[in-house]
């Protein structure tokens, strides 16, 4: 009897995600016969995984010289790795560089940190989590500052109780203007059109700005940020704003040729970058308005996103160490520097100076936001970037000193303030902070001397017991040395070093 004809069934499309880290729980290894050669690509590995119904994804070692040394390790689904609970570890195997690629539809619901990646991991009362309920359109880019988003809130739960009367209406906002609360603004920036997600946020992220989508929930509020709010949000549409359009025009279409541009193309590129600068100024002004309104986290996001927008114009940036793959593509520090010089010559001094001033302002203001959020190390990092480009920037020196005081590094704070006072001897705020730093510095050194004296006395007592009955036993040891006080350095006139 003839066998029935087998009709191949197409596999449903899948959504791939990747992280430059490994999850703590990777799942069991899946036996593989996948070919690996010097011509293998990530797309080859993904295609192989898609054909295996038991494959959730794969780990890939990327610190080899090329694809042949990558190391392909597929993982079996339902054996440990779950996207919703994954904890990522960038240093899991020491200095080795690994990536983890996984198929979302096989990894379970994905709960992730919903603050934008460029926020640098703000924690504490600002934690925001997102759980995808329905996947939207594929793609990697969410809304940027200035993009227009249409969305609706389908459900609000406060402290485990559903809140009626605040759902169902469609809202249309411009990202970055602060019309919606922080939880909705940041949540939307990690979503795609058609996506529905559950945002879990502390009260502070929901009630940071009137009107809030959970405004009528105030009667349910009892314990401040110990109460969590759940917002079920659906993104309906996304429209690119002027800054995104300008940036896309500069980046050009994928696959564009590498032929040297003609004069007309060069002029067009110059106009595009000038447009980007104008949009960048608008982003900075939006951040300033938000900061004046005490919307620190949204203001910080605006300044950090401005730095991201203007990365192409950061002529003071230093290229990171070249990994083997980047070296193979030819992007060496020399090539990087030559590209910067060509762009500077094209744009001219006026546009270059405008870009530098805007970047410095964005970083200085981000440092101010970090300080107000008491994220001292991040504030220090932002100030360091400014000082690398402008070592005599007074605001950066002052905010660096504030960050150092927050980190309990009074001596380093004094050093920054002394540099500042060489530039502006009459700066009253700097002198006030220097007085505080000097007092703290002396207290720290006094504590250190007391600890050392206690250790010395204990050693002397122990020596006296061991040498009991011997000539000279029990005699006092050498007196403590007098140490110069590093906090007593002289200062520029007119104030002199505060000694009281």
| Contacts of range 5-11, beta carbons closer than 8 Å, 24 or more positions apart | 11/50, 11/51
Q: What pLDDT score does 6 carry?
A: 40
CB hemisphere CA count around 65 (13 angstroms): 1
Q: How confident is the model at residue 111 (pLDDT cuts 50, 70, 90)?
A: confident
H/E element holding 236?
A: strand 228-239
Residue from 147, 139, 140 nearest 309 by CA = 147
Question: Chain-wide mean pLDDT for the chain?
Answer: 78
Tell me: the pLDDT tens digits for 440-487? 888 877 766 777 777 777 777 777 766 655 555 555 444 444 555 556
Q: What is the DSSP string of 87-151?
A: -EETTTTTT--EEEEEEGGGS---EEE-S-GGG----GGG--EEEEEE--S--S----TT-EEEE
Contacts of 327 (CB under 8 A, 6+ apart): none
Query: CA 500 to CA 497: how far, in whole Å?
Result: 9
Tell me: the pLDDT tens digits for 168-189? 789 999 998 888 988 999 999 8
Tell me: the pLDDT tens digits for 326-384? 444 455 667 667 777 788 888 888 888 898 999 999 999 999 999 998 889 999 999 99
Q: Provide the token pair at 149.
A: 């988003």
Q: Are strands 228-239 and 16-19 parallel, antiparallel or unpaired?
A: unpaired
Q: Provide the token pair at 19.
A: 């992280």
Contacts of 171 (CB under 8 A, 6+ apart): 150, 151, 152, 153, 180
SS3 172: strand
Query: CA 101 to CA 108: how far, in whole Å?
Result: 14
Contact (Cβ atoms closer than 8 angstroms) between residue 156 and residue 219: no
Query: CA 366 to CA 364: how far, in whole Å?
Result: 5
Percentage of the chain lying above the pLDDT 70 cut: 74
Tell me: the pLDDT tens digits for 18-74? 888 899 999 899 887 766 666 778 888 899 999 999 999 999 887 665 555 667 899
Percentage of the chain lying above the pLDDT 90 cut: 29
Query: CA 287 to CA 176: how far, in whole Å?
Result: 8
Torsion, Cα of 250, 254, 255, 258 (10° steps): 20
Q: Is the confidence at residue 419, as pLDDT, over 60?
A: yes
Q: How confident is the model at residue 492 (pLDDT cuts 50, 70, 90)?
A: very low
């Amino acid at each position: 009897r003839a066998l029935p004809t087998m009709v191949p069934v197409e596999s449903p499309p899948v959504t791939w995600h990747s992280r430059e880290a490994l999850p703590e729980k990777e799942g069991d290894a899946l036996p593989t016969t996948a070919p690996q050669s010097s011509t293998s690509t990530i797309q080859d590995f993904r295609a192989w995984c898609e054909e295996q119904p038991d494959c959730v994804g794969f780990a890939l070692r990327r610190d080899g010289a090329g694809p042949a040394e990558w190391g392909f390790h597929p993982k079996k689904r339902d054996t440990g790795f779950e996207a919703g609970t994954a904890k990522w570890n960038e240093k899991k195997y020491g200095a080795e560089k690994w990536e983890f690629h996984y198929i979302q539809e096989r990894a379970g619901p994905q709960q992730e940190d919903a603050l934008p990646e460029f926020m640098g991991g703000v924690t504490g009362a600002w934690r925001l989590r997102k759980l995808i309920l329905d996947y939207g359109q594929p793609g990697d880019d969410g809304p940027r500052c200035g993009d227009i988003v249409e969305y609706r809130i389908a459900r609000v739960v406060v402290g485990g109780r559903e809140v009626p009367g605040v759902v169902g209406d469609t809202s249309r906002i411009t990202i970055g203007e602060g019309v919606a609360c922080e939880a909705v603004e940041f949540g939307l920036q990690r979503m795609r059109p058609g996506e529905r997600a559950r945002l879990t946020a502390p009260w502070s992220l929901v009630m940071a700005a009137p009107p809030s989508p959970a405004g009528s929930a105030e009667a349910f509020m009892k314990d401040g940020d110990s109460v969590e709010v759940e917002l079920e949000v659906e993104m309906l549409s996304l429209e690119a704003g002027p800054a995104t359009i300008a940036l896309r025009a500069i980046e050009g279409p994928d696959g564009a040729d590498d032929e040297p541009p003609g004069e007309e193309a060069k002029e067009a590129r110059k106009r595009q970058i000038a447009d980007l600068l104008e949009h960048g100024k608008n982003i900075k002004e939006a951040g300033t308005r938000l900061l004046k309104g005490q919307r620190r986290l949204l203001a910080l996001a605006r300044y950090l996103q401005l730095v991201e927008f203007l990365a192409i114009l950061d002529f003071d940036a230093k290229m990171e160490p070249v990994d083997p793959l980047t070296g193979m593509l030819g992007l060496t520090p020399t090539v990087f520097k030559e590209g910067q010089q060509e762009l500077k010559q094209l744009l001219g001094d006026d546009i270059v100076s405008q870009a530098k001033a805007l970047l410095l302002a964005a970083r200085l203001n981000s440092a101010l936001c970090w300080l107000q959020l008491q994220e001292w190390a991040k504030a220090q990092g932002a100030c360091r970037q400014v000082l690398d480009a402008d070592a005599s920037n007074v605001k950066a020196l002052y905010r660096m000193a504030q960050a150092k005081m927050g980190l309990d590094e009074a001596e380093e704070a004094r050093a920054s303030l002394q540099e500042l006072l060489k530039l502006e001897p009459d700066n009253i705020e700097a002198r006030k902070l220097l007085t505080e730093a000097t007092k703290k510095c002396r207290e720290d050194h006094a504590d250190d001397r007391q600890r050392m004296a206690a250790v010395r006395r204990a050693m002397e007592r122990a020596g006296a017991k061991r040498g009991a009955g011997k000539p000279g036993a029990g005699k006092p040891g050498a007196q403590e040395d007098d140490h110069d006080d590093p906090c007593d350095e002289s200062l520029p006139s007119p104030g002199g070093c505060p000694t009281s």
